[in-house]
Amino acid sequence: MSITAEVKQRIDIVELVSEYVSLQKAGRNFKGLCPFHSEKHPSFFVFPGQQTWHCFGACGTGGDIFSFIMKKEGFDFGQALQLLARRAGITLTSPETLAKVEDKEEESLFQINESAAQYYHHLLLTTKVGEVARNYLSKRKVNIETITEFRLGLSPDSWETIKKYLTSKGHEEKELFQAGLIIEREDKSNYDRFRNKLMFPICDIQGRVTGFGARALDDSLPKYINSPQTPIFDKSNSLYGIDKAKTAIRQKNLVIVVEGYMDVLTAHQHGWQNVVAAMGTSLTEKQVNIIKRLTKNISLALDADAAGKEGTLRGREVLYHSLDKKGAEMLPYSRESARSMHKGEEPSPLLAQKVKLTSTLDAEINVLCLPPGKDPDELISEDPAAWQSLVEQATPILDFIIGNMIAKVDTTKAKGKSLVIETLSPIFDEIEDPVQQSHYVRQLARELKLEESEMKAALRKLRGNRKRLQPTEPREQSRLARQLVSNPIEEYCLALLLRYPELRQLAQELLPEHFEYTENRELFVRWQSSSDIPPPWNKLDANLLEQLNYLLNKPIIEENNREQQLALSDCILRLQERLSRKVEVGRELMLDATRQKEGINAELAKLDKEGIDSSQQLKEILIKRTKGIK
């Protein structure tokens, strides 16, 4: 947890603000006179559930505890952090001191890992217990030079081998735990994490051992395990073999990313020193950033299933899962996930995210599609010429996706063309270079035998539908909880109107009846009846203010006025259609009720006409069927 997050967790915003503002309870929230401007009626509200504040008067601003202190005291962020951290009982260390402490701790962990790697390597090469591991490597045709270069090792089938060795060298057990080499039991005793495993030291680009990968030498599961995350090991920031491959990557201006440790060993052994591994799971933004310092040309060696030969490219879920620019979202790239798709299971996002990396991270990503059933180490060992050909003929990721998708669909039929466009549309959205985007739009139009203008219109419509149908929900409320008390279309419509006064003319046909939910309807009525911009919100009920605060902070997807106008028009149209459907349903219900009532009266009249006594009891039984209809 970051320092700012911990400070926020420890300090209650109501208690903090109360020191500056006299607050009164207003429903679940609190209100008071704004401390940032002069006013007679309270327009300043604090929302404890969200740990935020907002002025609905002249200021029109809001924020969290940091923004409040910065505005009230005239502090910058650093000063506000110092003040609030002291209040929360958190000691802030100066950056210089903190860096020295962290450097010392990290250096100790590097030393521990280096000692462990040397000892594991010694056990593999020189002891009897290493014989099973040596035989396995011999069977996989890994020679002694490669074993030595990559310092492969063995962790014996023992509970305390590495612990005893490293503690005898003066390292404390807590340091071994921090390095991920031992595991602590509930009773506080501990034992070696790696036992009866072939060990693969994982190094950073400088050659320092940051952690370990390990393969079971028996039938135990899982077959492969890694070090846990530590201060110096982060799997999403590691590439196996990068320290050995960096020179060749620069020289060839190309990196080939494979899946496993053995793939890297075999490749290097056969002269392909520009090969690294994402260690069996994923390629991440952090890993690509490491590669980009060496080259911007990346080739992914995918097996046949992962490459889309058996349905990987089915469905929007596979192709549309955008990469968070602020974080290091994982880009699923494993045979296991690809094979689950081959079995018809729920697909995982796979290739669209690599398209995002191509544009966002300014890297050229290509695909090497391996023959069915072949891993890189098998192909390199058995048919080096075939591997060489695959590398030379690597396909750009976009061409590869388009080609595979078209091969899966009957594009001679209109339905097939529509499916291809709908499935590939999210991919085209990820292409930031207008020249590239235009190139691929033309290419797809040719493949589908469509006019380019028709293709652009279809893509534009699909893009608009996605944006409007999938508005982002606030993190503090689940989608289900929000749907129980409001409606996404109503909310998005109101959010647009509240945030962009220039859209007011487009809402002339909107009526209060278009808003089913009370809070939304009340806010719309007040917005509609006020000529002020913004309207005077300070006299609102506390619940309405909470809803208003939510709408004012609701993310808006559309980036320009034209897109906002289209989004609002779409919301209005859908609200009008919903109201029309309700009116029509109401008419049908009334007609049904009238018909049912007329039918019962006819039955009673028939009984009377035939001379049958229609007793009061019989009438009541029949009339019960009309209960609630009159």
Structure tokens at 111: 């030393």
Cis peptide before 534 (omega within 30 of 0): yes
Query: 93-107, 254-268, 369-383: which range is least confident on average?
Result: 93-107
pLDDT, tens digit (0-9, with 9 covering 90-100), for 281-326: 557 777 887 898 888 899 988 765 554 443 333 222 222 222 223 2
Entry pTM? 0.55
How many alpha carbons fall within 13 Å on the CB side of residue 62?
Answer: 22
Positive/negative CA dihedral, 433, 434, 439, 445:
positive
Nearest-angstrom CA–CA distance, 103 and 361 = 29
List 52's β-bridge partners, or say none.
47
Tell me the longest C-alpha to C-alpha distance in the chain: 113
**pLDDT for res 163:** 97
330 pLDDT higher than 90: no
Q: Which residue has the tokens 């057990």?
A: 173
Query: 65-74, 88-97, 281-290, 313-322: which range is least confident on average?
Result: 313-322
**pLDDT for res 337:** 34
Residues contacting 225, CB < 8 A, separation 6+: 193, 194, 197, 213, 214
pLDDT confidence bin for 617, thresholds 50/70/90: low
Q: Which residue has the higher pLDDT, 457 or 536?
A: 457
**pLDDT for res 610:** 61
**pLDDT for res 621:** 56
Q: Which residue has the higher pLDDT, 475 or 469?
A: 469
pLDDT, tens digit (0-9, with 9 covering 90-100), for 131-171: 999 999 999 999 999 999 999 999 999 999 999 999 999 99
Overall residue count recorded for the chain in this entry: 630
**Residue closest to 369 by CA, chosen among 424, 414, 443, 308:** 308
Consecutive H or E run containing 495: helix 488-499
**pLDDT for res 486:** 59
339 pLDDT higher than 90: no
**pLDDT for res 583:** 65
104 pLDDT higher than 80: no
Mean pLDDT on 564-568: 89
**pLDDT for res 258:** 93
Q: Which residue has the higher pLDDT, 529 or 478?
A: 529
Cα 305-306-307 angle, rounded to 5 deg = 90
pLDDT confidence bin for 613, thresholds 50/70/90: low
Work out the number of other CB atoms within 10 angstroms of the CB of residue 128: 7
Classify each residue of 581-606 as buried b or exposed e, where b means 16 or more C-beta atoms within 10 Å of its C-beta: eeeeeeeeeeeeeeeeeeebeeeeee
Position 407, amino acid: A
Query: 205-214, 350-359, 484-493: which range is least confident on average?
Result: 350-359
Cis peptide before 474 (omega within 30 of 0): no
pLDDT confidence bin for 39, thresholds 50/70/90: confident
pLDDT confidence bin for 557, thresholds 50/70/90: confident
**pLDDT for res 139:** 95
**pLDDT for res 156:** 96
Q: How far is CA 407 from CA 354, 384, 397, in A?
A: 21, 28, 15
Query: 95-104, 244-253, 418-427, 560-569: which range is least confident on average?
Result: 95-104
**pLDDT for res 317:** 27
**pLDDT for res 489:** 87
Positive/negative CA dihedral, 287, 291, 292, 298:
negative
pLDDT, tens digit (0-9, with 9 covering 90-100), for 398-417: 888 888 788 878 888 888 89
Q: Which residue has the tokens 């680009």?
A: 205
CB distance 180 to 211 below 8 Å: yes
126 pLDDT higher than 50: yes
191 pLDDT higher than 90: yes
Helix H, strand E, coil C: the string for 375-438 is CHHHHHHHCHHHHHHHHHCCEEHHHHHHHHHHHHCCCCCHHHHHHHHHHHHHHHHCCCCHHHHH
**pLDDT for res 86:** 84
Nearest-angstrom CA–CA distance, 158 and 234 = 26
Give the whole-number percent of the chain exceeding pLDDT 90: 31
52 pLDDT higher than 90: no
